[in-house]
Structure 1
Amino acid sequence: MKSILRILLIPALVIIGLGAFYFLFAFLGMIIPVGPEKESFPKEVEIFVHTNGLHADFVLPTTHSAHDWKEVLDGKHFGDFETPYLSIGWGEKNFYLNTPTMSDLTAPTLVKALFIPSTSAMHVDYMYGKPRVGDNASSILVSEQMYLELVDYILETFELKEGKAILIDHKGYHDYDQFYRAKGKYHALWTCNNWTNRGLKKIGLRNSLWTPMDWGVFYYLE
């Protein structure tokens, strides 16, 4: 009996140890800033970073003089009624499609997402208005050039065919969201929040060095 318990205990301790190191490095990566401490650019376009408690996504104007997302996305509601903002995120395809809420999360889905480099997807919510700034969303004013750079970063992640994003055959969580094919592999070192974090740094905004968690994305936005 003792030998059986010892056999079971060793992998459990290994998993706990790996988890502890992962969160330690996530914390260290979060508190190390990258980017200018002071902002010095025109404030021309309002964008948002929003979280559902797990995924930190970008929220962008659907149509702007700098870029019109209607030229890229096959929006469910385009032409029916106003959807002035889009929430755009990148993540693990299986996790996205099969985990609409945390109560739907299963151990195999979590293990695959974290430890096996997996196919990714883009998730787009068509929003009826601005997100409410607070615990779950931060507003950021950027220059038009920075916005275009962010658009390019996001477009580079979509799989495109003749300039249009490729829909995934999935009904979505609601009647106002869709999934699209994406580039890149998802794993523990490159998560949905790493993707958002990298986008912010790419356009010159101060953010964490490395953060697989959504709270790290918001650490320098508050």
Structure 2
Amino acid sequence: MLRRVLRWISGGVLLIVLLLVLGTVVPRPFFADDANGAKDREILLLSNPIHTDIALRVDDDLRLVFAELQEGGIAVNHPAAAYLVFGWGGRSFYIQTPTWADLKPMPVLRSFTLDSSVMHVDVTGDFPADLAGVKRLRISEAGYQRLVAGIRASFARNDDRIEVVSGAAYGLTDAFFEANGWFNAVAGCNTWSAAMLREAGMRTGWWTPLPPLLRWSIDLHN
């Protein structure tokens, strides 16, 4: 009986490893799109061991597109604002786990089942060129506009207005907003980042649920 259980566990682990490898090395989309134009725009992929964000440099056009964030407490118009940072994730885990020290069993459990989603937005200054966890990516103007539209469409709306999650923030410069879609460990924050990067004209792995897999697939397929 014990041997059978161990075989099942070993088989399950091997299957997960195989899916992760295939999810990284199989490109999505399968064929590259060469019609995106000159890559004049730079965006940032920010990552820690479990989560990725996308950062866009603040300019007048971006301020106009996301002007409504100002009402939610995001200082889009602050003269020192250099980047808007966007991340999508599960409500329970994302809001209740600002640091590893805040890790609790119930949010972790919700992340492995099904949870509603939120958008986390922060406004920051510039990032040092050699800062760990920052990957600089070049995309076309057309890809950039699709990316901005994809991020904007990720916000849930009520009467065409975004909805801030009251009392939910990590600090003084960020806020959480209601988002579209459902979250779980299979389709989580990093698969959202991958989908946004594909909107921008980049190729990613077919399924990249962890930040290292997403970064490796970007290097592999672009």
Fold equivalence (TM over 0.5):
yes
Q: Which stretches in structure 1 are left out of the alignment for 5+ residues?
A: 1-6
**Cα distance, 1:110 vs. partner?**
1.4
Match of 1:181 in 2: 178
Q: Which aligned pairs between 1:14-53 and structure 2 lie closer than 5 A?
A: 18=12, 21-35=15-29, 36=32, 41-53=37-49
Cα-to-partner distance string for 1:116-160 (whole Å, 9 max, x where unaligned): 211110011111113645541111122221111011111111012
SS at match of 1:68: helix
Q: Which stretches in structure 2 are left out of the alignment for 5+ residues?
A: none
CA distance 1:12–1:113, shift in 2 (3 Å):
farther
- Counterparts of 1:64 and 1:45 in 2: how far apart (Å)? 15
The number of residues matched between the two structures is 215
Cα-to-partner distance string for 1:166-195 (whole Å, 9 max, x where unaligned): 110124111111101001110122010001
- The question of whether the paired residues in 1 share the 8 Å contact of 2:52 and 2:193 is answered with yes
Report the AA paired with residue 139 of structure 1. Answer: R
Match of 1:194 in 2: 191
- Counterparts of 1:172 and 1:87 in 2: how far apart (Å)? 14
Q: 1:156 pairs with 153, 161, 180, which one?
A: 153
Match of 1:71 in 2: 67
- Counterparts of 2:63 and 2:146 in 1: how far apart (Å)? 11
Report the AA paired with residue 38 of structure 2. Answer: P
- Counterparts of 1:165 and 1:206 in 2: how far apart (Å)? 30
Q: TM-score, normalised by structure 2?
A: 0.82
- The question of whether the paired residues in 2 share the 8 Å contact of 1:50 and 1:138 is answered with yes
Q: 1:90 pairs with 81, 88, 91, which one?
A: 88
SS at match of 1:221: helix
- Counterparts of 1:113 and 1:16 in 2: how far apart (Å)? 24
SS at match of 1:94: helix
- Counterparts of 1:190 and 1:136 in 2: how far apart (Å)? 22
- Counterparts of 2:125 and 2:190 in 1: how far apart (Å)? 24
CA distance 1:9–1:166, shift in 2 (3 Å):
farther
- The question of whether the paired residues in 1 share the 8 Å contact of 2:190 and 2:211 is answered with yes
Match of 1:214 in 2: 211
Report the AA paired with residue 25 of structure 2. Answer: I
- The question of whether the paired residues in 2 share the 8 Å contact of 1:70 and 1:78 is answered with yes
Report the AA paired with residue 214 of structure 1. Answer: P
Match of 1:109 in 2: 107
**What percentage of residue pairs aligned between the two structures are identical?**
26
SS at match of 2:24: helix
CA distance 1:131–1:10, shift in 2 (3 Å):
farther
CA-based RMSD: 2.9
- The question of whether the paired residues in 1 share the 8 Å contact of 2:74 and 2:121 is answered with no
- The question of whether the paired residues in 2 share the 8 Å contact of 1:56 and 1:217 is answered with no
**Cα distance, 1:76 vs. partner?**
3.5
- The question of whether the paired residues in 2 share the 8 Å contact of 1:123 and 1:178 is answered with yes
**Cα distance, 1:90 vs. partner?**
0.3
